C-alpha cells in the first residue's frame, strides 16, 4: 500500500533532478505522473528512466498560458482530475552583482518561478480534486538572502512564498493544501552551475563554501528532497497548509 495510491500527479521541471526523483518516488507510492518540462528530449529520457505505464509527458514553457492549459488538460485527459500539482520548474539566472544584472535575465527568472507557479495554480485548481495538494519548489533563498549575486533567483523564490500563502487561503475551502518546499543546496547540475558562479565571484570553491555553512556539512541528494515532497503530497501532512518546509540540512537554523 503506497502513500499516493491512485493519485494523479503533475510535476513541472519533471526532467530535472528533483522532479525526476520525485516522479520515481511518487510512482513507487502508487501514483500516476505527468512529467512536464521544456524539452521533448529531456522528457523522453526521464520517462524512459522511470519506465512503465504510470508516466506520461508533455512539453511546456511553464510561464506561457497556453502551455500551462496544455499540460493541465493533457493530464486530465490521460489520467483524470489532478490530486497533486508539484510546481517545480525553475531556472537559475546568472550570478553577478545587482549593478550588472541583466534585465532580461531578471524577467525570465521571475517569469519561470513566479508566473509559472501562479499559472499552475490558476489553471490547475479548477481541474483538481477536493483534498488535493499543491507544492511549489521555492528554496532556502526564499526565506533569506544569498551571498549577494543572485538577486533575480532570491527575489523569485521569495515571491513564490507570497503566492503560496495567498493561494493556500483561497484553496482551503476545497480542502486543497498549498505549501512551499525550500531545499538548501542540492547535489545536482543546476546547483553546480550556480556554485561555479559563486566560485568566480567569491574567489573560493563555491561548493565547499556552502558545505561549511550547512550544519549537516553536505548537499542534499535529490531523493531526499523528493521524500519531503512526498510528505507534502500525501496525507501525512493533511493539516499542513500555507507552510514553508525547509529541507536545508539546518542551514537556516
| 137 lies in the site for another protein, by CB under 8 A | no
Provide DSSP, 122-180.
HHHGGGEEEEEEEEEE--GGGTS--SSS-HHHHHHHHHHHHHHHHHHHHHGGGT-EEEE
Q: How far is the CB of 243 from another protein (least distance, A)?
A: 4
- State the catalytic residue, choosing from 71, 101, 153, 231: 153
Q: Which is nearer to another protein, 3 or 201 (CB)?
A: 3
How many CB atoms are located within 10 Å of the residue 172 CB?
13
Main-chain phi, psi angles of 221, to 5 degrees: -85, 145
| 236 lies in the site for another protein, by CB under 8 A | yes
**Residue given cell 483538481 in the structure block:** 128
Q: Specify whether 123 is catalytic.
A: no
Per-residue x/- track, 9-28, another protein (CB under 8 A): --------------------
Q: Which is nearer to another protein, 80 or 162 (CB)?
A: 162
Q: Which is nearer to another protein, 97 or 215 (CB)?
A: 215
Residue 55 and residue 211: Cα distance in Å, rounded?
A: 35
Helices (H), the chain: 17-28, 40-50, 65-79, 103-110, 116-124, 151-171, 189-202, 206-213, 222-233
Q: How far is the CB of 114 from another protein (least distance, A)?
A: 17
Rule CB under 8 A: which residues touch another protein?
Answer: 164-165, 168-169, 172-173, 175, 177, 183-184, 215-217, 220-221, 224-225, 227-228, 230-231, 235-253
Active-site amino acid positions: 153
Amino acid at each position: 500500500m503506497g502513500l499516493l495510491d491512485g493519485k494523479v500527479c503533475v510535476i513541472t521541471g519533471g526532467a530535472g533532478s528533483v522532479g525526476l526523483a520525485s516522479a520515481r518516488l511518487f510512482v513507487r507510492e502508487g501514483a500516476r505522473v505527468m512529467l512536464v518540462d521544456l524539452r521533448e528530449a529531456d522528457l523522453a529520457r526521464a520517462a524512459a528512466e522511470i519506465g512503465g505505464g504510470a508516466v506520461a509527458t508533455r512539453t511546456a514553457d511553464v510561464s506561457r498560458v497556453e502551455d500551462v492549459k496544455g499540460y493541465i488538460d493533457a493530464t486530465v485527459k490521460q489520467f483524470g482530475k489532478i490530486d497533486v500539482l508539484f510546481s517545480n520548474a525553475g531556472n537559475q539566472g546568472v550570478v553577478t552583482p545587482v549593478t550588472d544584472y541583466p534585465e532580461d535575465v531578471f524577467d525570465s527568472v521571475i517569469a519561470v518561478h513566479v508566473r509559472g507557479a501562479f499559472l499552475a495554480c490558476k489553471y490547475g485548481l479548477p481541474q483538481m480534486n477536493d483534498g488535493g495538494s499543491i507544492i511549489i519548489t521555492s528554496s532556502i533563498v526564499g526565506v533569506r538572502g544569498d551571498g549577494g549575486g543572485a538577486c533575480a533567483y532570491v527575489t523569485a523564490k521569495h515571491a513564490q512564498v507570497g503566492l503560496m500563502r495567498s493561494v493556500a487561503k483561497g484553496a482551503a475551502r476545497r480542502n486543497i493544501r498549498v505549501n512551499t518546499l525550500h531545499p538548501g543546496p542540492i547535489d545536482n547540475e543546476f546547483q553546480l552551475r550556480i556554485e561555479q558562479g559563486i566560485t568566480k565571484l567569491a574567489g573560493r570553491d563555491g561548493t565547499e563554501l556552502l558545505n561549511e555553512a550547512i550544519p549537516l556539512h553536505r548537499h542534499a541528494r535529490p531523493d531526499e528532497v523528493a521524500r519531503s515532497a512526498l510528505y507534502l503530497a500525501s496525507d501525512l501532512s493533511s493539516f499542513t497548509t500555507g507552510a514553508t518546509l525547509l529541507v536545508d540540512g539546518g542551514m537556516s537554523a
